[in-house]
Amino acid sequence: MASIDDDKKAAAVAAVAEVRDGMLVGLGTGSTAAFAIQALGERVAEGLQMHAVVTSEASGKLARELGIEILDFATIAHVDLTIDGADEIDSRCFAIKGAGGAMLREKIVAAASARMVVIADGSKRVDRIGAAKLPVEVLPFAIAYVMRVLTDMKAAPTIRDNYRTDQGNLVIDCHFANLDDPRATAATLAAIPGILGHGLFLDEVDAAYIATNGVVTRLERMGASD
């Protein structure tokens, strides 16, 4: 039986097969995304010509070590393909992301991308997203206010201990008892002053490569809007 890391690697290799010469690729953050960066580094070593932008300092460091040329995203308006992990993903290609704390940068890069694919081991595939903690990135100036609002929303918020994002912001992890309407929750969070981003990815993910016991399946978005 394949281990979780084996499945992460298998999903990553399948997703990286989408990369073609000349592409500008967005690289996500976290343990699963690291497998994609490693697989992409192997293809670059074999002669693949491409550039990348990264969603975190950690991903940038790994990519450079593997010979992947990194561009400054601040100068980039369009990305061809982004490959990233997820904490949960369902059949609608709705995902929760942010365990690695980079969800704000990840969402910006995803928004700039013509296509975004998620890679995951089978444990991340769920019937409906909502069990995983939902992270939000918060301006430190607003932390007490945002905590009060999230508590009033019954989000069971907790400030992530000893953690700052690459932007120097704080992360609050929320656990909603009910996430039946993720679009409404996303809209509410986006409207709270002081919240800079959140981990609900409802329109960004175009496809997912999910590996279970070494077998990779591809899930393509079917235009779900609920």
Instruction: Read off the pLDDT of residues 58-74 as tens digits, 9 standing for 90 and up.
Output: 999 999 999 999 999 99
DSSP one-letter string for 117-146: EEEEEGGGB-SSS-SS-EEEEE-GGGHHHH
CB-hemisphere CA count at 13 Å for 45? 11
- pLDDT recorded at residue 226: 40
Cα distances (Å, whole numbers) of residue 140 to 56, 137, 195? 19, 9, 10
Regions of the chain where pLDDT drops below 50: 224-226
- pLDDT recorded at residue 176: 94
Query: Catalytic site residue 69?
Result: no
- pLDDT recorded at residue 223: 55
What is the reported pTM? 0.94
φ and ψ at residue 195, rounded to 5 degrees: -85, 120
Beta bridge mates, 219: 208
Of the residues 88, 106, 137, 204, only one is catalytic, namely 106
- pLDDT recorded at residue 222: 80
- pLDDT recorded at residue 224: 41
